[in-house]
Chain A
Amino acid sequence: MPTVKSLDDLRKIKEQAMQKREIKTASGQAQVTVAMGTCGIAAGARETMKAVLETIEADQLQGIVVTQTGCIGLCEWEPIVQVTIGDQPKVTYGKVTPERAQQILKEHVVGGQVVKNLVVPA
């Protein structure tokens, strides 16, 4: 089974991270939430989630908390992604395609600038 070998790989990843950690200082905690109700999934939320994870991987973004939520009652805006940075108010983005998810991560989560044209109108 590849699992046995895999856990060794995981141990290496952990050890490397522990070494890096001594240099890194924690920045404001960023939370990215993808709505994954039936409406979200049918609208493509899994591919949006996938793009979020791929961007984290490709750009080596540390310290981002990725979570999910169910239907939040804005089904017509799905796929929906919510971003919270530190103690700033939560920003809700609608119709988040994989490309837009990547843009939101780069501009908002990393760059600190809300992507205004993708925000769901209040």
Chain B
Amino acid sequence: MRELSLHLLDIAENGVTAGAQNITITIVEDLRTDRLELTVEDDGRGMDAVMVAQVTNPFSTTRTTRKVGLGIPLLKLAAEMCAGGLVVESTPNVGTKLSVNFQRSHIDRMPLGDVTGTLLSLLVGWPQVHWVLRYRVDEEEFVFDDAPIKTELGEVLPLSDPEVIGFLRGALREGIAAVTKRTHGDYVKVAEG
């Protein structure tokens, strides 16, 4: 995968598979410490310690568990190549939190890419999940919470309605651009794709 936002999509899909009702994706760019941290937190069925130990190892795959595969090992490798790492914390019946961090300026760090595209795909594709995106760059933060949007739409319109898709894309793009414009126009250009 060429973008970290594709990994975010992949990890978030794990949360959906785990039966989560609430999934929060957090992106934190800290320019002072030169770190980039991505977190996906879900309230799905969680994993026991044995399974948590397995998820970062592609070769211990049992294939009877949907949570084991190539997605997490690839992301872990990408982080370790950039003076970072990946941590999975999980509690059965409570949920799972995956955090991955990078040296933000590292030459090998993948670009975040199209965060808007990732969120839009998740929002429309899994409307039964409550989605939250928090995107922070130093002190500035953009929070996108789909709960008020769903409340407003009620039973009248689905998230796949053409006007609603346009609204969601606009809201995400605007919010992300507002927190990232000061620091890196390069991301915004990619994200416009």
Question: Are the C-beta atoms of B156 and A18 separated by less than 8 Å?
Answer: yes
A-B contact count (CB 8 A): 106
Question: Are the C-beta atoms of A41 and B1 separated by less than 8 Å?
Answer: yes
Residue A72 lies at the interface, judged by CB distance under 8 Å to chain B: no
Question: Are the C-beta atoms of B17 and A70 separated by less than 8 Å?
Answer: yes
Q: Which of B22-30, B48-56, B104-112, B118-126 contacts A (4 or more CB under 8 A)?
A: B118-126
- Tier of interface size on chain B: 35 or more
Question: Are the C-beta atoms of A10 and B167 separated by less than 8 Å?
Answer: yes
Interface of chain B: mostly helix, strand, loop or mixed: helix
Question: Are the C-beta atoms of A64 and B125 separated by less than 8 Å?
Answer: no
Using an 8 Å CB-CB cutoff, how does the interface string of A39-58 with B read, 1 for contact, 0 for none? 00110001101100100110
* Number of A interface residues in the complex (CB < 8 A): 36
Residue B149 lies at the interface, judged by CB distance under 8 Å to chain A: yes
Interface of chain A: mostly helix, strand, loop or mixed: helix
Residue B19 lies at the interface, judged by CB distance under 8 Å to chain A: no
Task: Mark B residues whose CB is within 8 Å of A.
Answer: 1, 6, 9-10, 13, 16-17, 66, 69-71, 114, 117-118, 120-121, 124-126, 143-144, 148-149, 152-154, 156-158, 160-167, 169-171, 174-175, 178
